[in-house]
Amino acid sequence: MNVKIPTINDDVSDFDRLFALWEQLNRQDLDITFDFSGCRFLRQNAVAFLGGLIRLVRYLGGNVRIDDSTFIPDVANNLAKNGFSGIFSGKAFVRSGNAIPYREDGESENVSLIAYLRDQWLGRGWVHVTELLRNRIIGTVWEVYANGFEHGESGIGIFSCGQHYPQLRTLKLTIVDFGVGIPANVRNFLGEPNLPSDRALEWAFRPGNSTKPEGMGRGLGLDILKQFIKVNKGQLEVFSHDAYALVDSGTERYLTRKSYFQGTLVNISLVCDELHYCLSSEISNEPLF
């Protein structure tokens, strides 16, 4: 089966295109060729998602071939710079100062993951944060991975990719797993099989909530990140099943959407401005920014 990959940015409609592709491949012959002839650009969310989708198809016993002869030069260069082509097409990894490399984690690698988030994502000077704040934010993002490993049940791990977009003054990171999804875990834990997906996602966002017995373990652990995003005027998006969470400077919303994805995708957007951010506890006795 020939599957045409479209141009994909990271508006909500672009995530819908990715989820539609996941649904299509779940229902079709698993002998697949990815054709990029209609693709003019892939953002970091598409790179992480497509990498995971390839691994999923192969895990299910299928085969995926990437027709790199259909790449236009811009797409070929981008996939070489973030390492995607090196993994899936045997091409050279051309390091770029603006790429946060494509990454696959089959199991929890605390040291390696933290180094990735520190050295490749938040520690490169694009967003000015103190070391203490940087470490707190990295710790909360690491919780996303930890939850995926502990609760995701995907069988193929977790996939990441990021990008610094200088002209847009934004820093992006996408993390995706193809497991059972947050709503399924919350429903099972609470014993509420009919709990709407948006309410399940909202429950998972509340500080202290966890699907571990007696509150042991962790919830999503995103409190510090949410607070920073509101100050930074960035954006946090989480898609799981038909639920969508959006946190930005002015709102925190939980919605039910028509689009469906069984796993969990987290998309983080930070503003690269000239401000220098710190925990207010570094300059006062207050615990906030």
Separation of alpha carbons 81 and 76, rounded Å: 9
Superfamily of the domain at 2-282: Histidine kinase-like ATPase, C-terminal domain (3.30.565.10)
Alpha-carbon separation of residue 118 from 96, 111, 131 (angstroms): 17, 10, 10
Backbone torsions φ then ψ of 173, nearest 5 degrees: -150, 130
Tokens of 278: 């710190």
Cβ 86 vs Cβ 47: under 8 Å:
no
- Which pLDDT score is estimated for 213? 56
Query: What number of other Cβ atoms are within 10 A of residue 196's Cβ?
Result: 16
Cβ 200 vs Cβ 182: under 8 Å:
yes
For 15-27, the pLDDT digits (tens) are 999 999 999 887 6
User: For the chain, which residues score pLDDT lower than 70?
Assistant: 27-29, 92-94, 211-221, 284-289
- Which pLDDT score is estimated for 154? 81
- Which pLDDT score is estimated for 6? 96
- Which pLDDT score is estimated for 284? 59
Pick left, alpha or beta for residue 153 (phi over 0 → left; psi -120 to 50 → alpha; otherwise beta). Answer: left
One DSSP character per residue, the chain reads -EEE---B-SSHHHHHHHHHHHHHHHHS-SEEEEE-TT-S-B-HHHHHHHHHHHHHHHHTT-EEEEEGGG--HHHHHHHHHTSHHHHHT-------TTEEEEEEESS--HHHHHHIIIIIIITSSSSEE-HHHHHHHHHHHHHHHHHHHHH---SS-EEEEEEEETTTTEEEEEEEE-SS-HHHHHHHHHT-TT--HHHHHHHHHSTT--SSGGG-S-S---HHHHHHHHHHT-EEEEEEEEEEEEEESS-EEEEEEEEEEEEEEEEEEEE--S-EE--GGGTSS-S--
One DSSP character per residue, 217-256 reads S-S---HHHHHHHHHHT-EEEEEEEEEEEEEESS-EEEEE
- Considering only CA atoms, which of 238, 283, 278, 235 is closest in space to residue 261? 238
- Which pLDDT score is estimated for 205? 87
Cβ 88 vs Cβ 51: under 8 Å:
yes
pTM: predicted TM-score of the whole model, two decimal places: 0.93
